[in-house]
Structure 1
Amino acid sequence: MLRSLSVIVVALLWYYLSSRIQVPNMAPIKNVAVIGGSGNVGKAIVQELLAAGFVVTALTRSSSSSTFPDGVKVKKVDYESIDSLKEAFGGQDVVVSAIATPAVQGQKTIIDAAIAAGVKRFIPSEFGINTRITGGTAIGKILSGKVAIVDYLDEKSKSNPEVTWTGVSTGLFFDWGLDNIASVDFDNKTVRVVDSGNEKFQASNLKYIGKAVASILKHPDQTANKYLSVASFNVSHNEIIKVVEELTGTTFTVDRVDSEELQKLGEEKLSKGDFSAFLPLLQRWNFADGKGHAVKPGDSADELLELPKDDLKESIRAWLTKNGRL
C-alpha cells in the first residue's frame, strides 16, 4: 500500500514539475538573408521584411545587375560553392529562398551551407500551391523538386534540433497573375471559365505573401518545423467576374472549358517533356469543380500569423486601374 502511494506521489510530483518546465524559446530573429530577392515574390518579401524591422541581406550571383531598396545589404556569391555561401550566411539568423521553381533542387547546397554557418531557420521556395498534397498527380511531378527540398529540411531538423524550417503555401499569386486567373478578354467582352466557375481556390497578393514571411519570423517558436497555408482570400472565378462586371459596368459572355480537357492537354505536354504543361494542370488544380483546394479554416495559419485578410474588390480595382480598365 505504501509503495503504491509512493509511486503515485512521485508521478504527481513529476507531472507538477514537468508542466512548469519551459522549452527554451528561440532567440529573437534580426538578420535575414534573401535569395531570389529581385523576383516578383522576392521583392515583396524584401519590402515587408524591411517594413517589419529586420536587417535584410540579398544574395546574388556575381554577374547579377539586380538592384534593391535602400537599407538592403548585397552579397555576391557562387551558388555552387558551399564555402562561398557559408561565408555569406555568417551572422544570419534566417535564410528565405524565393528562387524560381526550375532551380529549387539547388537549394540543397544552400541549405547545407546555411546549417554549417549556424543559420536558425530556413524558409524554402514553396510559395504557390500546397505541394504536400500533390503526390501521385501530374502537377506533382513538375513540383517534385519542391517536395524533395521540404523533405530534406525535415530530415535535417530531426537530426539537428538547432535546424528549423517553415514551408509556406500561398496559392495563386493573385494580383500578379490576375490576367491569367481572370481570363477576361476586355476587347471582345468574353471570359474563359473552367467548369461551373463556382469552385473556390486559394490565392494571395504578393504583399500578403511578404507579410506572411515577416510574421513567421515574428513568431519563430510557433512556426518552427511546420508547413503553413495562408491566403488573402479563398475565391471562385465567378466571384471575380462579378466584381469585374460591377466595377467596369460591362457584362461578359462566358466561354466554358472542360477541366478534363485541361488535364489531358497537360499530361500530353508533360509526356513530351514540355513543361508548359504546368499552366493547364494548374488551372485544373485550382478551378475544376470539386477539387477542394481552398484553404479550410482549420488549416489556415492566417490567424496564427495575425494577418488581416485582403479586400477582394479593392484588389481587383487596383488590377483594373493598372491595366487602364477604370
Structure 2
Amino acid sequence: MALQKTLDAILVVGPSGMVGKVLCQALISRKSEFKRIAFFNDTSRPETEEKRQLFATFRNGGMEQVSGLYTDTEAFTGFDCVLMPLGNHAIKFQPTIIDTGIKAGVRHFYPSEWGADLTAGSNRTQRYYRDKVLTREHLEKRGRDEDTPDLGWTYIQLGRLAEWSIIKHFGIDNANHTADIYGTPEGRQSLLSTADAIAYTIETLRHPFSVADNGHRRPYRFHGASPTWKEIFDELEAITGHRYSVTYHDVESAVEKEARAKAVGDVDLELEASHQLIQGRGGTLLPEPFNNNLFPNIHPESVHSIFEKIFRDENMRKFLGY
C-alpha cells in the first residue's frame, strides 16, 4: 500500500482578504491538529492599522507570522503546504510564489480558486480567470520537472461564494434595490457560504493522500445550492422587504463591454464584464460529481440563511452596499 500523508505545516499567503481571514481563523480553531500554522506578511505592501490589528489577532490565536517578499526563500522554509487566497490583482504573483516555495521545499499548493470549475464551459478562455489558468499551467509544468515528481496541488471548486454573489460588482445594487443581470431569470449559479467553503478546505488538509497515481493532485467540488436568479431575488425581497427592479441583458452584449473596458485600460471593469459573461453562460454552475459526501460532518448552510445573516451584520451590510 502506498504511503498516505496529510498536510501538517501550513502557510497562508493572502491572510487579510475576505477568504484569507476566515481561513486563518479556522486554522486557529484547529491548531492542535497541525504541527505549524503561519500567515505571510508581504512587506512590499503598505502597513495599515487595520492590518496590524488583524495580524495581532492571528498571532494571539497561535499563528506564526512570517514576513518578506514573494521571492524570499527563507520565509517559505519549513512548510509542506502553501494556501493562496489572493484577490484578483494579486493572483498574477502565484507562479513566483510557487517557484519560491518549491525552492524552499514546499511540495503542495492551494492556488486561489475557491470558485468556479475552470474546466467547465468556456471558463478557461475568459479574462476573469486568465491568471488562475496561468497558475494551473505553471503548476502542471513544474509537476513534470524531474526533480519535483512529488509536487502536488489542491483545487477547491464551489461555483461562487454566496456572500459575493449579490454585490454591485456583479450587478446588484442593494441600496436602491435594482439589478442589471446578464442572462435570464432562469439562469442558475452554484452558491456556497465562505464559512462552509473554508470548513471543507480545512478537511481537505487533513484528508490523507498518496503521491502514487497522482493522488497528490486533487480537484474537489463542494456544492451548496444552485438557485436561479429569480429565486435569488425572491430571497432578497423576502429578507429586505423591498421589491427589486431587475433588468436582464443579453449575455453576449457583455463582450462589447469587456472590449470597451480593455480599450480604456479599466481592468476592474474588464474583469466585471468577463465575469458577467461567465455567469450568464452558466460558468458558475458547478458540474457534478460533488465531493460533499467525503466530509458528511459538514452541512452547507441554505442560501436564505446566508443572505439573512449577512444583511443582519453591520460590516457585511456595508460590503453589500446596503
Check whether TM > 0.5: yes
Q: Read off the aligned partner of 1:158 and give its amino acid letter.
A: R
Matched, 1:267 2:259: yes
The residue correspondences of 1:18-167 to structure 2 (distance < 5 A) are 22-26=1-5, 28-53=6-31, 54=34, 55-62=36-43, 64-65=47-48, 66=51, 67-68=54-55, 69=58, 70-79=61-70, 81=71, 84=72, 86-133=73-120, 140-159=126-145, 160-167=148-155
TM-score, structure 1 normalization: 0.79
Q: Which of 275, 280, 303 is the equivalent residue of 2:293?
A: 303
Greater RCO, 1 or 2 (C-alpha within 8 Å, sep 6+):
2
The 2-side partners of 1:196 and 1:316 are apart by 21
Q: Does the Cα contact within 8 Å between 1:182 and 1:241 map onto a contact in 2?
A: no
The 2-side partners of 1:235 and 1:136 are apart by 20
- CA drift at 1:150: 1.1
Q: Does the Cα contact within 8 Å between 2:7 and 2:205 map onto a contact in 1?
A: yes
The aligned counterpart of 2:234 is 242
Find the residue that maps to 1:87 and give its secondary structure: helix
The aligned counterpart of 1:174 is 162
Q: Does the Cα contact within 8 Å between 1:130 and 1:170 map onto a contact in 2?
A: yes
Matched, 1:183 2:172: yes
Q: Percent identity?
A: 20
Superposed CA RMSD: 2.8
The 2-side partners of 1:190 and 1:102 are apart by 28
The residue correspondences of 1:221-260 to structure 2 (distance < 5 A) are 221=209, 224-260=216-252
Closer, same or farther: CA 182–240 of 1 in aligned 2, 3 Å = farther
Deviation digits for residues 11-35 of structure 1 (CA, Å, limit 9, x no counterpart) = xxxxxxxxxxx11112x32220010
Considering only CA atoms, is the larger Rg found in Structure 1 or Structure 2? Answer: 1
- CA drift at 1:78: 1.9
The 2-side partners of 1:100 and 1:251 are apart by 32
- CA drift at 1:60: 1.0
The 2-side partners of 1:49 and 1:196 are apart by 39
Deviation digits for residues 94-146 of structure 1 (CA, Å, limit 9, x no counterpart) = 111122233323222321222222223111112333333476876x2343222
The aligned counterpart of 1:319 is 310
Closer, same or farther: CA 148–193 of 1 in aligned 2, 3 Å = closer
Q: Does the Cα contact within 8 Å between 1:128 and 1:170 map onto a contact in 2?
A: yes
Closer, same or farther: CA 201–90 of 1 in aligned 2, 3 Å = same
Residue segments in structure 2 that go unaligned for 5+ positions in a row: none
TM-score, structure 2 normalization: 0.80
Closer, same or farther: CA 196–121 of 1 in aligned 2, 3 Å = same
Q: Does the Cα contact within 8 Å between 1:202 and 1:234 map onto a contact in 2?
A: yes
Count of aligned residue pairs for this structure pair: 295
After superposing on structure 2, the runs of 4+ consecutive aligned residues of structure 1 that deviate more than 6 Å are none
Q: Read off the aligned partner of 1:211 and give its amino acid letter.
A: A
Find the residue that maps to 1:235 and give its secondary structure: coil
Residue segments in structure 1 that go unaligned for 5+ positions in a row: 1-21
